[in-house]
Structure 1
Amino acid sequence: MVGGFRRTAVLVPLMDGRLLTAVHGGIRWIHTFTDEAALARFARLKGAAPGEEWEYAALLGARLLDVVVPSMDGPAGVAVNAADEDGSMLFPPVRGIVPDAAAVDAAAVDADTGTGGTERDGDAR
């Protein structure tokens, strides 16, 4: 799933020119959507009027995971289609999904083994 997400362009709503996020469980989640219909369902749940337009950007999943997540203050992950009970997905800030430097589990690996926490070659910054 991670590989498919990394190759897919998703829609990220913008509020006041910034990516729409929400904090839950100590993680800042970036809201993303696979298409305009999924974004519209989310907008309606958030109280948007029918037909109200929401500004959004289209970004590759890889850019979100490799560039945007590490640039956020504190741990961050990506929530896909949050308004869809059956089609939602979460990509948490853990090793193998985000760069090690942004992974919340990297510190635990560093403490246990004395290794880890380094960037992989090819991570975009």
Structure 2
Amino acid sequence: MGESVGDCSALLAEMHAFRQGFGQPALLTDALRSALLLIPLTGDDRLLTSTFGGLNWVCAFTSKQEYARYLLARDEQGGPCRFHTVFGWRLLDILVPSVPGPTGVVIDVAGATPMALPPAVEEVA
């Protein structure tokens, strides 16, 4: 694996479990919350988001190598590559809610095994 920004082994293991068909949502969420992730920023140091399918998406990466793949896929070899490292709990509890509209998280989007976590759906009583 690439140069990790933190210990993402539990997160990667839970993502693998989901792809194999036996993942548990609570364990995936716990692993994401405790992982230290790399989050891209815009040129003015805001959280970089993308819109796809009518939803906002925040990209998170488990290593610098995964982020480099993303930059190459976007043809930004010499372009913006600023990022912050944040724990998943901060991403889920603070950063994602600060984005207007429904926002999901996609992990290692340009890698061989990305995982998308759609926005949480609020229950209506």
TM-score, length-scaled by structure 1: 0.71
Determine the structure 2 residue equivalent to 1:21.
49
CA shift, 1:65, in A, is 0.7
CA shift, 1:26, in A, is 1.6
Determine the structure 1 residue equivalent to 2:4.
none
Identical counterparts, % of pairs: 33
CA distances 1:46-102 after superposition (whole Å, capped 9, x unpaired): 1123x767111001111111111111111111111000132x1112211xxxxxxxx
In 2, Cα distance between equivalents of 1:81 and 1:70: 20
Segments ≥4 residues shifted beyond 3 Å: none
Determine the structure 2 residue equivalent to 1:76.
103
Could you tell me which of 85, 104, 118 is aligned with 1:92? Answer: 118
Q: Which 5+ residue runs of structure 2 have no aligned equivalent?
A: 1-27
The answer to whether the Cα contact below 8 Å between 2:62 and 2:108 also exists between their aligned partners in 1 is yes
What is the alpha-carbon root mean square deviation over aligned residues?
Answer: 1.5
Answer with 1 or 2: which has the greater Rg.
1
Determine helix, strand or coil for the equivalent of 1:18. Answer: coil
Say whether 1:33 aligns with 2:61.
yes
Structure in which a larger fraction of residues adopt helix: 2
TM-score, length-scaled by structure 2: 0.71
Determine helix, strand or coil for the equivalent of 1:78. Answer: strand
The answer to whether the Cα contact below 8 Å between 2:59 and 2:109 also exists between their aligned partners in 1 is yes
Q: Which 5+ residue runs of structure 1 have no aligned equivalent?
A: 95-104, 115-125
In 1, Cα distance between equivalents of 2:80 and 2:50: 20
Task: Provide the aligned length of Structure 1 versus Structure 2.
Answer: 97
Determine the structure 2 residue equivalent to 1:47.
75
